Amino acid sequence: MGILKELEDVDNIKLSKDKRAVIIIDQTKLPGITEYLTLTTVEEFYEAILKLRVRGAPAIGICAAYGMYCLAQTIDTTKYEAFHKKFHEYKEYLNSSRPTAVNLSWALNRMEQVVLNNKNSTVKEIIELLESEAYKIQWEDIEMCRKISKYGLTLIKEGDGILTHCNTGQLATSKYGTALGPLFLGKEKGLEFKVFADETRPLLQGARLTSYELWKAGIDVTLICDNMASVVMKNGWIQACLVGCDRIAANGDAANKIGTSGVAILAKYYGIPFYVLGPTSTIDVNCKTGDDIKIELRNPDEIKKEFYEKPMALEEVKCYNPAFDVTDHSLITAIVTEKRILRPPFDSSIRKLFEV
Protein backbone atom coordinates (compact mmCIF):
# COMPACT_ATOMS: atom_id res chain seq x y z
CA MET A 1 0.00 0.00 0.00
CA GLY A 2 1.29 3.50 -0.82
CA ILE A 3 2.38 5.72 2.07
CA LEU A 4 -0.32 8.36 1.52
CA LYS A 5 -3.08 5.78 1.10
CA GLU A 6 -2.10 4.14 4.39
CA LEU A 7 -2.17 7.53 6.14
CA GLU A 8 -5.58 8.52 4.77
CA ASP A 9 -7.62 7.08 7.60
CA VAL A 10 -5.33 8.18 10.44
CA ASP A 11 -7.36 10.53 12.56
CA ASN A 12 -5.30 11.65 15.54
CA ILE A 13 -2.42 13.48 13.78
CA LYS A 14 -2.49 14.68 10.18
CA LEU A 15 -1.50 17.55 7.95
CA SER A 16 -4.22 20.07 7.08
CA LYS A 17 -5.42 20.11 3.46
CA ASP A 18 -3.27 23.16 2.61
CA LYS A 19 -0.30 21.42 4.36
CA ARG A 20 0.42 24.52 6.45
CA ALA A 21 -0.86 23.17 9.76
CA VAL A 22 -1.10 19.97 11.78
CA ILE A 23 -4.49 18.78 12.99
CA ILE A 24 -4.57 16.74 16.18
CA ILE A 25 -7.22 15.31 18.45
CA ASP A 26 -6.96 17.15 21.77
CA GLN A 27 -6.34 14.14 24.02
CA THR A 28 -6.94 16.19 27.18
CA LYS A 29 -10.64 16.48 26.25
CA LEU A 30 -11.23 12.77 25.69
CA PRO A 31 -13.30 10.73 26.29
CA GLY A 32 -16.10 13.30 26.78
CA ILE A 33 -15.32 15.62 23.88
CA THR A 34 -13.65 14.84 20.56
CA GLU A 35 -12.13 18.15 19.60
CA TYR A 36 -9.63 18.77 16.81
CA LEU A 37 -6.94 21.42 17.16
CA THR A 38 -5.12 23.14 14.33
CA LEU A 39 -1.47 23.87 15.15
CA THR A 40 0.54 26.33 13.09
CA THR A 41 2.98 28.32 15.23
CA VAL A 42 5.98 26.93 17.09
CA GLU A 43 4.38 28.07 20.36
CA GLU A 44 1.22 26.10 19.55
CA PHE A 45 3.22 22.92 18.83
CA TYR A 46 5.21 23.39 22.03
CA GLU A 47 2.10 23.96 24.13
CA ALA A 48 0.24 20.99 22.62
CA ILE A 49 3.13 18.63 23.44
CA LEU A 50 3.83 20.08 26.90
CA LYS A 51 0.17 20.00 27.95
CA LEU A 52 -0.31 16.44 26.59
CA ARG A 53 -2.90 17.48 24.00
CA VAL A 54 -0.80 15.16 21.87
CA ARG A 55 1.00 12.56 23.94
CA GLY A 56 2.52 9.08 23.85
CA ALA A 57 6.15 8.77 22.79
CA PRO A 58 5.64 7.92 19.08
CA ALA A 59 2.77 10.41 18.67
CA ILE A 60 4.77 13.39 19.91
CA GLY A 61 7.59 12.46 17.50
CA ILE A 62 5.16 12.31 14.57
CA CYS A 63 3.49 15.59 15.52
CA ALA A 64 6.87 17.32 15.88
CA ALA A 65 8.00 16.00 12.47
CA TYR A 66 4.92 17.41 10.72
CA GLY A 67 5.35 20.54 12.81
CA MET A 68 8.89 21.06 11.52
CA TYR A 69 7.65 20.71 7.94
CA CYS A 70 4.95 23.34 8.55
CA LEU A 71 7.38 25.67 10.33
CA ALA A 72 9.97 25.24 7.56
CA GLN A 73 7.45 26.70 5.12
CA THR A 74 7.21 29.88 7.23
CA ILE A 75 10.96 30.58 7.19
CA ASP A 76 11.24 33.59 4.95
CA THR A 77 14.56 33.12 3.17
CA THR A 78 16.03 31.41 0.14
CA LYS A 79 19.51 31.26 1.70
CA TYR A 80 20.53 27.84 3.04
CA GLU A 81 22.47 29.08 6.11
CA ALA A 82 19.70 31.39 7.30
CA PHE A 83 17.11 28.67 6.67
CA HIS A 84 19.04 26.08 8.65
CA LYS A 85 19.69 28.50 11.54
CA LYS A 86 15.97 29.21 12.02
CA PHE A 87 15.05 25.54 11.46
CA HIS A 88 17.54 24.49 14.15
CA GLU A 89 16.14 27.12 16.54
CA TYR A 90 12.58 25.74 16.10
CA LYS A 91 13.84 22.18 16.50
CA GLU A 92 15.66 22.90 19.75
CA TYR A 93 12.63 24.70 21.16
CA LEU A 94 10.26 21.81 20.39
CA ASN A 95 12.79 19.33 21.72
CA SER A 96 12.74 21.09 25.09
CA SER A 97 8.98 20.55 25.48
CA ARG A 98 9.30 17.03 26.95
CA PRO A 99 12.66 15.49 27.84
CA THR A 100 12.03 11.80 28.57
CA ALA A 101 10.52 10.29 25.40
CA VAL A 102 13.43 9.74 23.02
CA ASN A 103 11.07 9.55 20.02
CA LEU A 104 10.71 13.34 20.11
CA SER A 105 14.40 14.08 19.61
CA TRP A 106 14.70 11.08 17.29
CA ALA A 107 12.04 12.46 14.92
CA LEU A 108 13.36 16.02 15.16
CA ASN A 109 16.90 14.83 14.39
CA ARG A 110 15.63 12.92 11.37
CA MET A 111 13.99 16.07 10.07
CA GLU A 112 17.14 18.15 10.64
CA GLN A 113 19.25 15.49 8.95
CA VAL A 114 17.24 16.11 5.76
CA VAL A 115 18.30 19.76 5.91
CA LEU A 116 21.94 18.86 6.64
CA ASN A 117 22.10 16.26 3.87
CA ASN A 118 20.88 18.67 1.21
CA LYS A 119 23.12 21.71 1.58
CA ASN A 120 23.33 22.07 -2.19
CA SER A 121 19.59 22.00 -2.81
CA THR A 122 17.32 25.02 -2.89
CA VAL A 123 15.21 25.82 0.17
CA LYS A 124 12.10 24.94 -1.87
CA GLU A 125 13.54 21.50 -2.66
CA ILE A 126 14.49 20.95 0.99
CA ILE A 127 10.95 21.79 2.10
CA GLU A 128 9.59 19.19 -0.33
CA LEU A 129 11.99 16.59 1.11
CA LEU A 130 10.88 17.52 4.64
CA GLU A 131 7.29 16.82 3.67
CA SER A 132 8.20 13.31 2.45
CA GLU A 133 10.27 12.63 5.57
CA ALA A 134 7.39 13.56 7.89
CA TYR A 135 5.00 11.29 5.98
CA LYS A 136 7.61 8.53 6.14
CA ILE A 137 8.01 8.87 9.92
CA GLN A 138 4.28 8.41 10.44
CA TRP A 139 3.99 5.59 7.92
CA GLU A 140 6.97 3.76 9.42
CA ASP A 141 5.37 4.11 12.83
CA ILE A 142 2.25 2.33 11.60
CA GLU A 143 4.38 -0.45 10.12
CA MET A 144 6.38 -0.78 13.35
CA CYS A 145 3.24 -0.91 15.49
CA ARG A 146 1.80 -3.60 13.22
CA LYS A 147 4.92 -5.76 13.66
CA ILE A 148 5.14 -5.11 17.42
CA SER A 149 1.49 -6.16 17.71
CA LYS A 150 2.18 -9.42 15.84
CA TYR A 151 5.15 -10.29 18.03
CA GLY A 152 3.25 -9.26 21.16
CA LEU A 153 0.33 -11.48 20.26
CA THR A 154 2.61 -14.52 20.32
CA LEU A 155 3.25 -13.89 24.03
CA ILE A 156 -0.36 -14.06 25.21
CA LYS A 157 -3.21 -16.48 24.67
CA GLU A 158 -6.98 -16.36 24.27
CA GLY A 159 -8.78 -15.61 27.53
CA ASP A 160 -5.70 -14.18 29.29
CA GLY A 161 -6.09 -11.39 31.81
CA ILE A 162 -3.83 -8.49 30.85
CA LEU A 163 -2.77 -5.58 33.01
CA THR A 164 -1.71 -2.36 31.30
CA HIS A 165 -0.55 1.04 32.51
CA CYS A 166 -0.98 4.48 30.91
CA ASN A 167 -2.08 4.64 27.26
CA THR A 168 -0.26 2.93 24.43
CA GLY A 169 -2.97 2.61 21.79
CA GLN A 170 -3.74 4.34 18.52
CA LEU A 171 -3.88 7.77 20.19
CA ALA A 172 -0.32 7.38 21.44
CA THR A 173 0.93 6.34 18.00
CA SER A 174 -1.06 6.47 14.75
CA LYS A 175 -2.54 3.01 14.39
CA TYR A 176 -2.70 -0.14 16.57
CA GLY A 177 -0.40 1.21 19.27
CA THR A 178 2.43 -0.61 21.01
CA ALA A 179 1.42 -2.35 24.25
CA LEU A 180 -2.27 -2.27 23.30
CA GLY A 181 -1.49 -3.36 19.73
CA PRO A 182 -1.60 -7.14 20.40
CA LEU A 183 -5.04 -6.71 21.95
CA PHE A 184 -6.43 -4.83 18.94
CA LEU A 185 -4.82 -7.30 16.56
CA GLY A 186 -6.13 -10.21 18.65
CA LYS A 187 -9.61 -8.72 18.49
CA GLU A 188 -9.36 -8.57 14.67
CA LYS A 189 -8.57 -12.29 14.76
CA GLY A 190 -11.54 -13.02 17.04
CA LEU A 191 -9.49 -13.57 20.21
CA GLU A 192 -10.87 -12.37 23.53
CA PHE A 193 -8.85 -10.98 26.43
CA LYS A 194 -9.80 -9.52 29.79
CA VAL A 195 -7.92 -6.28 30.16
CA PHE A 196 -7.38 -4.40 33.42
CA ALA A 197 -6.42 -0.78 32.80
CA ASP A 198 -4.67 1.14 35.57
CA GLU A 199 -6.25 4.60 35.76
CA THR A 200 -2.68 6.04 35.79
CA ARG A 201 -2.51 8.93 38.23
CA PRO A 202 -2.08 11.84 38.12
CA LEU A 203 -3.26 12.58 34.58
CA LEU A 204 -5.44 9.50 34.17
CA GLN A 205 -4.38 8.41 30.69
CA GLY A 206 -5.53 4.88 31.55
CA ALA A 207 -8.99 6.00 32.63
CA ARG A 208 -9.52 8.67 30.01
CA LEU A 209 -7.84 7.07 26.99
CA THR A 210 -7.08 3.35 27.43
CA SER A 211 -10.46 2.27 28.77
CA TYR A 212 -12.08 4.42 26.06
CA GLU A 213 -10.03 2.99 23.18
CA LEU A 214 -10.49 -0.62 24.33
CA TRP A 215 -14.19 -0.20 25.05
CA LYS A 216 -14.71 1.39 21.60
CA ALA A 217 -12.99 -1.62 20.02
CA GLY A 218 -15.29 -4.02 21.90
CA ILE A 219 -12.50 -5.41 24.08
CA ASP A 220 -13.40 -6.50 27.61
CA VAL A 221 -11.86 -3.79 29.80
CA THR A 222 -12.07 -3.16 33.53
CA LEU A 223 -10.75 0.10 34.90
CA ILE A 224 -8.90 -0.06 38.23
CA CYS A 225 -7.16 2.50 40.43
CA ASP A 226 -3.38 2.16 40.36
CA ASN A 227 -3.34 0.86 43.95
CA MET A 228 -5.56 -2.08 42.95
CA ALA A 229 -3.02 -3.75 40.68
CA SER A 230 -1.75 -5.95 43.49
CA VAL A 231 -5.24 -7.27 44.28
CA VAL A 232 -6.09 -8.25 40.71
CA MET A 233 -2.74 -10.04 40.47
CA LYS A 234 -3.28 -11.81 43.78
CA ASN A 235 -6.76 -12.88 42.63
CA GLY A 236 -5.13 -14.72 39.71
CA TRP A 237 -6.80 -12.48 37.14
CA ILE A 238 -3.60 -11.34 35.39
CA GLN A 239 -1.53 -13.62 33.13
CA ALA A 240 0.66 -10.89 31.60
CA CYS A 241 1.49 -7.19 31.95
CA LEU A 242 1.89 -5.20 28.74
CA VAL A 243 3.34 -1.69 28.97
CA GLY A 244 4.89 0.84 26.62
CA CYS A 245 8.11 2.79 26.95
CA ASP A 246 9.48 6.27 26.47
CA ARG A 247 13.20 5.49 26.50
CA ILE A 248 15.08 2.22 26.93
CA ALA A 249 18.70 2.28 28.07
CA ALA A 250 21.39 0.02 26.57
CA ASN A 251 21.09 -2.39 29.52
CA GLY A 252 17.30 -2.75 29.14
CA ASP A 253 16.21 -0.38 31.92
CA ALA A 254 12.98 1.13 30.61
CA ALA A 255 11.45 4.52 31.36
CA ASN A 256 7.69 4.65 31.11
CA LYS A 257 4.77 6.43 32.76
CA ILE A 258 5.15 6.90 36.51
CA GLY A 259 3.85 3.82 38.30
CA THR A 260 5.14 1.34 35.73
CA SER A 261 8.04 0.17 37.87
CA GLY A 262 5.64 -0.53 40.75
CA VAL A 263 3.59 -2.76 38.44
CA ALA A 264 6.78 -4.59 37.42
CA ILE A 265 7.77 -5.18 41.05
CA LEU A 266 4.32 -6.60 41.81
CA ALA A 267 4.42 -8.78 38.70
CA LYS A 268 7.77 -10.23 39.79
CA TYR A 269 6.35 -11.03 43.23
CA TYR A 270 3.33 -12.82 41.74
CA GLY A 271 5.36 -14.56 39.00
CA ILE A 272 3.56 -12.78 36.16
CA PRO A 273 5.47 -12.01 32.93
CA PHE A 274 6.12 -8.31 32.41
CA TYR A 275 6.52 -7.21 28.78
CA VAL A 276 7.71 -3.82 27.50
CA LEU A 277 6.63 -3.04 23.93
CA GLY A 278 8.02 -0.25 21.74
CA PRO A 279 9.81 0.54 18.49
CA THR A 280 13.60 0.27 18.30
CA SER A 281 13.64 4.07 17.98
CA THR A 282 12.79 4.08 21.71
CA ILE A 283 16.09 2.38 22.53
CA ASP A 284 18.73 4.97 23.35
CA VAL A 285 22.11 3.28 23.35
CA ASN A 286 23.65 6.56 24.48
CA CYS A 287 22.03 5.94 27.85
CA LYS A 288 24.04 3.17 29.48
CA THR A 289 21.48 2.57 32.25
CA GLY A 290 18.24 4.04 33.50
CA ASP A 291 20.22 6.46 35.67
CA ASP A 292 21.18 8.31 32.49
CA ILE A 293 17.54 8.91 31.52
CA LYS A 294 16.28 12.39 32.28
CA ILE A 295 12.93 12.21 34.05
CA GLU A 296 10.46 14.97 33.34
CA LEU A 297 9.17 16.80 36.43
CA ARG A 298 5.74 18.32 35.99
CA ASN A 299 3.61 20.99 37.61
CA PRO A 300 2.50 20.01 41.16
CA ASP A 301 -0.98 21.35 40.40
CA GLU A 302 -1.55 18.25 38.27
CA ILE A 303 -1.63 16.24 41.49
CA LYS A 304 -3.59 18.72 43.59
CA LYS A 305 -6.23 20.17 41.33
CA GLU A 306 -5.91 19.76 37.58
CA PHE A 307 -8.54 17.04 37.22
CA TYR A 308 -10.82 18.02 40.10
CA GLU A 309 -13.58 20.57 40.47
CA LYS A 310 -12.03 21.72 43.73
CA PRO A 311 -8.44 21.31 44.98
CA MET A 312 -7.74 17.98 46.68
CA ALA A 313 -4.94 19.36 48.87
CA LEU A 314 -3.96 22.66 50.41
CA GLU A 315 -2.21 25.10 48.09
CA GLU A 316 0.71 25.18 50.58
CA VAL A 317 1.35 21.41 50.43
CA LYS A 318 4.47 20.39 48.54
CA CYS A 319 4.12 17.85 45.70
CA TYR A 320 6.65 15.76 43.83
CA ASN A 321 5.40 15.03 40.32
CA PRO A 322 7.77 12.96 38.15
CA ALA A 323 6.04 11.99 34.90
CA PHE A 324 8.02 8.76 34.43
CA ASP A 325 9.91 6.12 36.32
CA VAL A 326 12.47 3.56 35.28
CA THR A 327 11.76 -0.16 35.47
CA ASP A 328 14.90 -2.08 36.24
CA HIS A 329 15.86 -4.51 33.46
CA SER A 330 15.87 -7.38 35.97
CA LEU A 331 12.07 -7.05 36.28
CA ILE A 332 11.42 -7.23 32.52
CA THR A 333 10.59 -10.60 30.93
CA ALA A 334 11.02 -9.39 27.34
CA ILE A 335 11.19 -6.24 25.24
CA VAL A 336 9.05 -6.47 22.12
CA THR A 337 10.28 -4.41 19.15
CA GLU A 338 9.26 -4.36 15.49
CA LYS A 339 12.41 -6.33 14.64
CA ARG A 340 12.23 -9.12 17.21
CA ILE A 341 11.49 -10.05 20.80
CA LEU A 342 14.48 -9.27 22.98
CA ARG A 343 15.19 -11.51 25.96
CA PRO A 344 17.62 -11.08 28.87
CA PRO A 345 20.48 -10.46 29.12
CA PHE A 346 19.31 -7.23 27.49
CA ASP A 347 22.72 -5.58 27.18
CA SER A 348 23.72 -8.26 24.65
CA SER A 349 20.31 -8.68 22.94
CA ILE A 350 20.12 -4.89 22.47
CA ARG A 351 23.71 -4.72 21.21
CA LYS A 352 22.99 -7.48 18.67
CA LEU A 353 19.85 -5.68 17.49
CA PHE A 354 21.95 -2.72 16.36
CA GLU A 355 24.74 -4.80 14.81
CA VAL A 356 24.72 -4.61 11.00
Ligand X SMILES: CSC[C@@H](O)[C@@H](O)C(=O)COP(=O)(O)O
Q: Which stretch binds ligand X (CB under 6 A): 29-37, 84-92, 123-131, 173-181?
A: 173-181
Query: Residue 56, annotated ligand binder?
Result: yes
Strands 254-257 and 247-249, by their bridges, are antiparallel
**Least distance CB 245 / ligand X (angstroms):** 6
**DSSP E strands, 225-333:** 240-243, 247-249, 254-257, 274-277, 283-284, 324-327
**Using rule CB under 6 A, residue 55 touches ligand X:** yes
Would you mind telling me the total number of residues written for the chain in this entry? 356
**Using rule CB under 6 A, residue 257 touches ligand X:** yes
To the query of whether residue 246 is one of the catalytic residues in this protein, the response is: yes
Annotated catalytic residue: which of 141, 160, 226, 246? Answer: 246
**Using rule CB under 6 A, residue 185 touches ligand X:** no
Q: In which order are the strands placed within the sheet that holds 194-198?
A: 220-224, 194-198, 161-164, 240-243, 274-277, 334-336, 341-342
**Least distance CB 136 / ligand X (angstroms):** 19
**Using rule CB under 6 A, residue 12 touches ligand X:** no
Query: Residue 98, annotated ligand binder?
Result: yes
Q: Which stretch binds ligand X (CB under 6 A): 48-56, 113-121, 225-233, 325-333?
A: 48-56
Query: Residue 257, annotated ligand binder?
Result: yes
Nearest to 331 by CA among 270, 264, 266: 264
Which whole-number Å values give the CA distances from 284 to 105, 111, 113, 260, 292, in the listed order? 11, 18, 18, 19, 10
* Consecutive H or E run containing 14: strand 13-15
Residue 293 phi/psi, 5-degree rounding, is: -85, 125
**Least distance CB 125 / ligand X (angstroms):** 34
Residue 220 phi/psi, 5-degree rounding, is: -65, 110
Residue nearest to ligand X (CB): 244
**Using rule CB under 6 A, residue 58 touches ligand X:** yes
Q: Which residues pair with 176 in a beta bridge?
A: none
**Using rule CB under 6 A, residue 246 touches ligand X:** yes
Applying the rule CB under 6 A, the residues between 299 and 338 that interact with ligand X are 323
220 and 155 Cβ atoms separated by less than 8 Å: no
Q: Which one among 156, 172, 197, 254 touches ligand X, defined by CB under 6 A? A: 172
Specify the residue, 16 or 47, whose C-beta has the smaller distance to ligand X. Answer: 47
Residue 177 phi/psi, 5-degree rounding, is: 95, -175
Which residues are identified as catalytic? 246
Task: Provide the binding-site residues for ligand X, judged by CB under 6 A.
Answer: 52, 55-58, 101, 166, 168, 172-173, 177-178, 205, 244-246, 256-257, 323
Binding positions for substrate are: 55-57, 98, 205, 256-257
